[in-house]
Amino acid sequence: MNTLEKLLGYIPEEMANGKKIIAMKIVDNAMEPRITVGDIVIARQQEHFTDNEIALIGVYGMGHICRKVRCHSDGIELIATNTAYKPIRLYNADISAGKAYMIGKVIELRATL
């Protein structure tokens, strides 16, 4: 079983019109107030992001997290919307070394009312 399949849900490409779709349950309040604990985010698998996209990222020692991306020439910065969380800086060398990997771009939010 690969890492993607360990997430809440995974739809193979052949079932999603050629796109890999991943679902993840939010377990922290880093993206509050919009995305809260218990919400489900749906992401399209991709490895490259542009500024201000919301992404799912696997970070060594932190598990799978959801954060806003800010791109830099030497890596990326992961920004929480909850100001209680500090930005996480990932350098290209960190990503190449496997300390982090890009899962996908969040395309949908499913929340319980």
Cβ-based neighbours of 47, under 8 Å, separated by 6 or more:
101, 102
How far apart are the C-alpha atoms of 22 and 54, rounded to whole Å? Answer: 14
Question: 29 pLDDT band (50/70/90 cuts)?
Answer: very high
How far apart are the C-alpha atoms of 70 and 50, rounded to whole Å? Answer: 7
pLDDT digits (tens, 9 = 90+) for 67-107: 999 999 999 999 999 999 999 999 999 999 999 999 999 99
Which pTM value belongs to this model?
Answer: 0.81
Tell me the Ramachandran region of residue 75: left when phi exceeds 0, alpha when psi lies from -120 to 50, beta otherwise. left
Q: Where are the domains of the chain?
A: 3-12+19-110
Q: For all residues of the chain together, what is the average pLDDT? A: 86
CATH among 2.10.109.10, 1.10.357.10, 3.40.50.300, 1.10.3720.10 for 3-12+19-110: 2.10.109.10
How far apart are the C-alpha atoms of 16 and 76, rounded to whole Å? Answer: 28
How far apart are the C-alpha atoms of 42 and 92, rounded to whole Å? Answer: 25
